[in-house]
Amino acid sequence: MGRQINAANRCGAAMKPSMYIVLLISMTLAGCAVERPFEADPAPPETRAVIRQDGPVSVAAAALGAQESRDALGVSLHDVGIQPIWLRIRNDDTASYWLFPIAIDHDYFIPSEVLRRVAGRHPPQELVTRVENNALPVLIPPKSVTSGMIFVRVEEGLKAVTVQLMTPGHRRDFPFVLEVPGLHRPPVPSQRRIYPGQTLPDLDDAGLIDYVATLPCCTIGPEGQEADPINFVLVGSLELVRLALASRGWTLAEVMSSSASLKMVFAFLSGSRLPYGAVSDLRFLGRTQDVAYQKIRELVAERNHLRLWLAPVTWHGQAVWAGQISRDVGVKLSGRLWPPTTHEIDPSVDEARFYLLQDLMTSQLAQRLSYTKGVGAAAKTAPRRNAENDPYYTDGLRAIVMLKEKRADTSTIELFGEHYPVSARQLRNE
């Protein structure tokens, strides 16, 4: 924590006058900013619950937003860092199962902790009854339907959880990525919404590699100039993409807006973390990113961020996502009225690509890996530059990762195609 405060103080000492001027200007211009559309909050928890089935056992799950938890329990759990996960477990098996809340969140809260956080040592009996009655029992009897809440740490936008049920000699895992109301999310990207009425070409391996290699080199910045390179492609449904990323700590980035920009400025000045901060809009395939994710580090100025665009092709019926991954290492003035600040990227964009690859493989949802030609090589001594004039160097390749529904050990991943970075090429030839 001391490092975070000291780092923030160093930033403030170096940029304090200019950044405070930026803050004042930002507050003035906030009402003039162009607001991107965002998705309305989802339906009530039981209506929007995601259902998973494994043999005779099914689990329905929903993550409650701040207002929903207040409506259900009469108190604001989000204000004290607690979020209810609503579960309904249908056990048609002949055996009982134990629910392991620690698989959902290793820092989960038991009802007495919830009560102490929201009401201190002596909570009113009405609140005690309400919380305890809503808590989910951990023993799930045979031939039963059991519902209730598990209390976990707060997350916004998306919440990745695994419901784990144990019986002697057998374990059932139910992985979920749950939408959380409250965050300004982008509209859900789908082929029907983005490419209405179109029949998209369905590609095989060779066709996909050729298609990815012929994509434009880079995203487009706010003034029409080349921006960050397209260096990653994911293949799989939106649900699979969400699961692979969220299970590794990636969070959904808020839609860019005046309030989102102000949050970024305030977070930078205070040295605080901003897990769901917006990323700047870049264009590709004729539009701004369909969705963006980030994985924050110690400071708001340091994060990994990933922009994704749904491509107008499929691979054996699976969605294809063109991506741009980079690592932020600082915040600087943008030179524009809005937004007044922007992140500075680390010049080694291949390291960011490798970081994402490691996360996807560690999620155990990566099935196949390939590389193809992309932006073209740029040496450290002769770097390319993005729209913010940040230098970057690269081997010029694009990674292609195909996702699968069933988790499997990383050692089973299949390599295909011909173009690989030196390290991956050595691995492939062993």
pLDDT tens, residue by residue, 134-153? 999 999 999 999 999 999 99
Domain presence at residue 197: yes
52 shares a domain with 68: yes
Alpha helix (H) ranges present in 258-389? 258-270, 349-362
Instruction: Please give the structure tokens belonging to residue 100.
Output: 């392991």
Burial of 158 (0-12, 13-18, 19+ CB in 10 A): buried
In angstroms, rounded to a whole number, what is the distance separating the alpha carbons of residues 2 and 10?
12
425 and 390, same structural domain? yes
CA angle at residue 154 from 76 to 282, to 5 degrees? 120
Question: What residues form DSSP beta bridges with 345?
Answer: 328
Cα of first residue to Cα of last residue in the chain, in angstroms, is 44
Q: Is the pTM of this model over 0.85?
A: no
Total domain count for the chain?
Answer: 2
Mean of per-residue pLDDT scores for the chain:
85
At 345, the pLDDT band (50, 70, 90 cuts) reads confident
Question: Does residue 387 sit within a domain?
Answer: yes
Report if residue 121 sits inside a domain. Answer: yes
pLDDT in tens, 366-415: 999 999 999 999 999 999 999 888 999 999 999 999 999 888 888 899 99
Section 88-103 average pLDDT: 98
If asked whether residues 132 and 226 sit together in one domain, one would say no
Q: Which of the listed residues 165, 180, 195 is the one where a domain comes to its end?
A: 180
Tell me the pLDDT tens digit for each residue of 117-135.
999 999 999 999 999 999 9
Please tell me whether residues 347 and 205 are part of one structural domain.
Answer: yes
Residue 330, token pair as written in the block: 């600082």
Residue 343 and residue 212 in one domain: yes
Lowest mean pLDDT among 75-84, 169-178, 371-380, 408-417: 408-417
Name the residue among 293, 406, 415 with its Cα closest to residue 355: 293
**Model confidence over 258-285: pLDDT tens digits?**
555 555 555 555 555 556 667 889 999 9
Residues 170 and 318 in one domain: no
Extended beta strands in 92-169, E state: 97-99, 139-140, 144-153, 157-167
Structure tokens at 365: 């949802």
Copy the structure tokens of residue 40: 């309305």
- Does residue 314 sit within a domain? yes
Predicted confidence band at 364 (pLDDT cuts at 50, 70, 90)? very high
Same domain, 169 and 232: no
Q: What domain range is 316 assigned to? A: 2-34+184-429
Same domain membership, residue 200 and residue 69: no
Residue 39 forms part of a structural domain: no
For residue 53, what are the contacts with CB-CB under 8 A and spacing of at least 6? none
- The percentage of the chain sitting over the pLDDT mark of 90, rounded to a whole number, equals 64
Which is more confident, 27 or 330?
A: 330
pLDDT of residue 387: 84
Q: Which residue in the block uniquely carries the two structure tokens 């090429």?
A: 425
CA 82 to chain centre: 20
Interatomic CA distance for residues 291 and 188, integer angstroms: 8
Q: Are residues 176 and 189 in the same domain?
A: no
Pairwise CA distance, residues 376 & 233, whole Å? 16
Per-residue pLDDT, 74: 92
235 in the same domain as 222: yes
Asked, for residue 40, whether it belongs to a domain, the answer is no
Contacts of 14 (CB under 8 A, 6+ apart): none
63 located within any domain: yes
Query: Among 40-49, 210-219, 346-355, whose mean pLDDT is lowest?
Result: 40-49
Q: Is residue 1 pLDDT above 50, yes or no? A: no
3-state secondary structure of 304: strand
For residue 420, what are its two tokens?
């690989």
Mean pLDDT is highest, among 42-56, 183-197, 198-212, 255-269, for 198-212
pLDDT over 70 (residue 99): yes
Determine whether 390 is exposed, middle or buried from the number of CB atoms within 10 Å of its CB (0-12, 13-18, 19+).
buried
Same domain (yes/no): 101, 78: yes
**Residue 339 banded pLDDT, cuts 50, 70, 90:** low
Q: Are residues 189 and 287 in the same domain?
A: yes
Question: Could you tell me the two tokens for 231?
Answer: 């260096």
Final residue of a structural domain among 180, 207, 225: 180
Of the three residues 163, 180, 197, the one that is the final residue of a domain is 180
Q: Which residues does residue 87 pair with via DSSP β-bridges, in sequence order?
A: 61, 148
Supply the CATH number for residue 116's domain.
2.60.40.10
